Amino acid sequence: MAKFVYGIDLGTTYSCIAYVDETGRAAVINNSEGTNTTPSVVNFASPTNVVVGQVAKDAKIIEPGQTVDFVKRLMGKSDFAISYNGRDISPQEVSSYILRKLTEDAAKLINEEVKDVVITCPAYFGTAERDATKKAGDIAGLNVLEVISEPVAAAIYYGYTREQSKKNILVYDLGGGTFDVTVMAVSSDVIEVICCEGDHELGGKDWDETVMRYIAGEFNSRTGYNDDIDESTQADLRLKVENAKKQLSGREETPVTLDVAGLRERIPISRATFDELTAALLNKTVDLTEKALTIARAKGVEIDEIILVGGSTRMPQVPRILKEKYGKEPRVLDPDEAVAQGAALYAVDVYINKQKSIFTWEENVKNGGGDAALPPVENAGAFKETLAGAVKTRKARKIIVTTTKSYALKVLVDNKDEKCNNLIIKNTRMDGDEINVTGHFGTQEANQETVELVVYESDDMNEYYDVDDDLIIGTAVLALPENLPSYAPIDVTFTLNKEGMLRVHGKDLTGNREITAEMHAKGIMTTEEVEEAKKHSSRIVVL
Ligand code: AMP
C-alpha cells in the first residue's frame, strides 16, 4: 500500500491536515464531519472521552469549565491548560487531542495509519513554543518530522503551485489568535526567509471581542440592563459575533440577536461600524508589516508581492489597507488550507532526505565505512517505506530560514553593569541546519570556582540590553580549574538549530573544562512528563 506523509496546521482557532496524493498534489483531508478544517477546541466530556472540533466549540457554552479553546496561546508559556477529573492537564496534552482528532479522522479516510507529520507553528515561536508543538505530536503518538513556520509552509505551497522566477514576497498571516508577517525570497527550488515579525496576542479573536463589547454596550443602552452577562451567554454571544463578523466580509450589514435575562434585542452592525471599531487592531498589523519591510529593506530586499493567509484576511479591511499603503493588490491564497498543504509538501521533502541519508549510510556501512551502530536519523527503519506515486521522483526544495528570536548571555560590562549580551540576533540568516556563534569572555575574579551561564531569549535585536529575568530560558554551570587569575578566558558557544532548539557550550581555555547544556525554557515538558501524558492519552477516546 502506498505510504503517505502529512502536514498539519495546528491553528489557534482552526486546524487542518493535508497529504500529498499519488499524483504529487497536496490535498486537504476532511474530518469525519466532512469539513476541511476542525475548530481547535477540546471538550473533556468524560474521564474516558474527549471531544474535539465543532461539537466541542458548541459545548463551550454549556460546559465552559470542561472545555479549552485558544490553547495555542498557552503553548510553551504555561504547563497548565485545564484541570479535569482531578488532574492538571498541560497545553501540550490538550493540543495532542486536536492532533489525534485530525490524524485519526484522516486515517479512516486514507485507510492508513497517520504517523509521519510536519506540524506548523507561527514564525515567531521561540524555543519553548516549538518544543511544546513537537511534544504535542509526541503525546499524540506521531513521528514529528519537523516543526516549520506557517508562512514558510504557505510559501512552499505558493512556490509549488506556480512556475516562476525568484520573487520576494510578504506573507501577511492573520489567523484567529495570532498575527505573523514574513518576508521571503521564493523561487521554485529555494525558499529564503528574510525576516519575520508578529504578535501572538493579536488575531480574529480580538476583532470578535471588540464587537462583543460594542454589542453588549448597545444592548445595555437599549434595554437599561446593567448587570454582568453570565459566562454561558458570553460564550453564546462570542459565537454570534464571530458569525456576524464573517457575514460582514460578504455584506454591508448584519444583525446580532442577544437574549439576556428575558430581554431580547436585535442589534444591527454595519461593515463601516465594524471597520471603525477595529481600526486600531488593523493598524497594529500595519505597523508590524512596516517593521518587517524596514528590516527587509536594510537587507536590500524589496517586495514584489503580498500574500494573504489566515482566515481573518477575509475581512475586506485587510486587503484594502494593504493596497492603499503599498499599491499592490494582495493575492489571496486558500487561507484555510495553504499552510497544511505546504507542510505536507515539505513533509515529503524531509522524508525523502531522511530516506536518502539512510540509504547512503547503509551503503557506507556495507562497504566497510561509517559506524553501523549510528544511523543518521532516529527511527531509521521507519523511513525505508517508499512514498506513494509520483512524489518519490521529486526534487526536494531547500529552505533557508532566519533566527526567530535573539539569544543572549548575562555578562558584566566594564566590570560593573550586568547586561544581556546577544550572541545570536533575531532575523539572522541560517543557511545550514544550525547556526553557531562563539563569544569570548573572561572570569570576573581570581580563584573563581565556577561560571554560571545564564541564557535569555528575546525579540531584542541590540547587542546589549537590560537584564530581564523573565526572559531566562536556562542556565548551565561551568566548573573551573583551581587558581585561575581574573579575566581567565572562557568561550561560550550558542548553537541554534532550524527548529529553534538552543545548545549552549562553555569552555575554559586554561584547563579545557567544558559544559554543554540543552536549554530548557520555562514550560518545557520533560521526557517523563511526555510519557505520563501519553499514558493518560492512550486511555482516552477522541471523538
Ligand atoms: P485561522 O486561525 O487562520 O483558521 O483563522 C481563523 C480566524 O479567521 C477566526 O478568527 C475566524 O473568525 C476568522 N474568519 C474565518 N472566516 C472569516 C470571514 N469570512 N471573515 C472574517 N473572518 C473570518
459-469 confidence digits (pLDDT tens): 899 999 999 99
Q: Is 331 helix (H, G, I), strand (E, B) or coil?
A: strand
pLDDT at 174: 92
The CA–CA distances, whole Å, from 465 to 58, 236, 437, 468, 473 equal: 46, 45, 18, 9, 16
Over 60: is that where the pLDDT of 392 sits?
Answer: no
- Domain endpoint, select from 374, 401, 428: 401
- Residue identifier of the C-alpha nearest atom 1 of ligand 1: 175
Answer whether residue 209 is part of any domain: yes
pLDDT at 264: 93
Over 90: is that where the pLDDT of 135 sits?
Answer: yes
Do 44 and 144 belong to one domain?
Answer: yes
Contact 476, 492 (CB under 8 A): no
**CATH (domain of 246):** 3.90.640.10
Answer whether residue 9 is part of any domain: yes
Do 138 and 153 belong to one domain?
Answer: yes
Q: Which residue has the higher pLDDT, 519 or 482?
A: 482
Return the ligand 1 atom nearest residue 12 CA.
2
Q: Is 511 helix (H, G, I), strand (E, B) or coil?
A: coil
pLDDT at 515: 86
Pairing of strands 190-199, 398-402: parallel
Pairing of strands 26-28, 489-497: unpaired
- In this structure, of 71-80, 123-132, 165-174, 421-430, the range with the lowest mean pLDDT score is 123-132
> Among candidates 183, 283, 196, which has minimal Cα distance to 461?
196
Return the ligand 1 atom nearest residue 16 CA.
4
Q: Is 375 helix (H, G, I), strand (E, B) or coil?
A: coil
Find the domain containing 65 and state its range. Answer: 2-161+337-345+527-542
Do 393 and 471 belong to one domain?
Answer: no
pLDDT grade for 364, boundaries at 50, 70 and 90: confident
The structure's pTM equals: 0.81
Which of the listed residues 246, 271, 274, 309 should we mutate to test ligand 1's pocket, taking the one with most ligand atoms within 8 A of CB?
246
Do 489 and 364 belong to one domain?
Answer: no
Distance 172 CA to ligand 1 centre (A): 14
Answer whether residue 47 is part of any domain: yes
Distance 42 CA to ligand 1 centre (A): 18
DSSP helix, strand, coil percent of the chain (3-state; round to 5): 35, 30, 35
Over 80: is that where the pLDDT of 225 sits?
Answer: yes
pLDDT at 525: 84
Do 221 and 73 belong to one domain?
Answer: no
Ligand 1 binding pocket, CB closer than 6 Å = 11-14, 175-176, 204-205, 242, 245-246, 249, 310-312, 314-315, 336
Distance 311 CA to ligand 1 centre (A): 3
pLDDT at 164: 61
**CATH (domain of 69):** 3.30.420.40
Answer whether residue 210 is part of any domain: yes
Return the ligand 1 atom nearest residue 339 CA.
3
Which cell numbers hold the place of 117? 507529520
Distance 59 CA to ligand 1 centre (A): 20
Which of the listed residues 9, 13, 202 should we mutate to test ligand 1's pocket, taking the one with most ligand atoms within 8 A of CB?
13
CA 313, 11, 349, 435 torsion: positive or negative? positive
Mind listing the pLDDT tens digit for each residue in 4-35? 999 999 998 899 999 998 888 899 999 999 99
Structurally, how many domains does the chain consist of?
4
Strands, E, within 189-299: which ranges?
Answer: 190-199, 253-260, 263-270
Do 341 and 477 belong to one domain?
Answer: no
Do 366 and 423 belong to one domain?
Answer: no
Do 508 and 484 belong to one domain?
Answer: yes
Answer whether residue 8 is part of any domain: yes
**CATH (domain of 448):** 2.60.34.10
pLDDT at 360: 83
Distance 123 CA to ligand 1 centre (A): 19
* Mean pLDDT, residues 231-255 taken together: 94
Do 426 and 535 belong to one domain?
Answer: no
- Residue 508, number of CB atoms within 10 A of its CB: 21
- Residue identifier of the C-alpha nearest atom 17 of ligand 1: 246
Do 40 and 89 belong to one domain?
Answer: yes
Do 419 and 499 belong to one domain?
Answer: yes
State the Cα–Cα distance between residues 112 and 367, nearest whole angstrom: 36
* Mean pLDDT, residues 379-387 taken together: 74
pLDDT at 178: 84
Distance 315 CA to ligand 1 centre (A): 8
Sequence length of the chain is 543
- Residue identifier of the C-alpha nearest atom 9 of ligand 1: 176
Do 494 and 538 belong to one domain?
Answer: no
pLDDT grade for 201, boundaries at 50, 70 and 90: confident
Strands, E, within 137-211: which ranges?
Answer: 143-149, 167-174, 179-186, 190-199
Answer whether residue 431 is part of any domain: yes
Distance 204 CA to ligand 1 centre (A): 6
* Mean pLDDT, residues 211-222 taken together: 94
Q: Which of 28-42, 428-442, 447-461 has the highest mean pLDDT?
A: 28-42
Mean pLDDT in the chain? 89
Over 60: is that where the pLDDT of 389 sits?
Answer: no
Answer whether residue 283 is part of any domain: no
Answer whether residue 195 is part of any domain: no
- Residue identifier of the C-alpha nearest atom 16 of ligand 1: 311
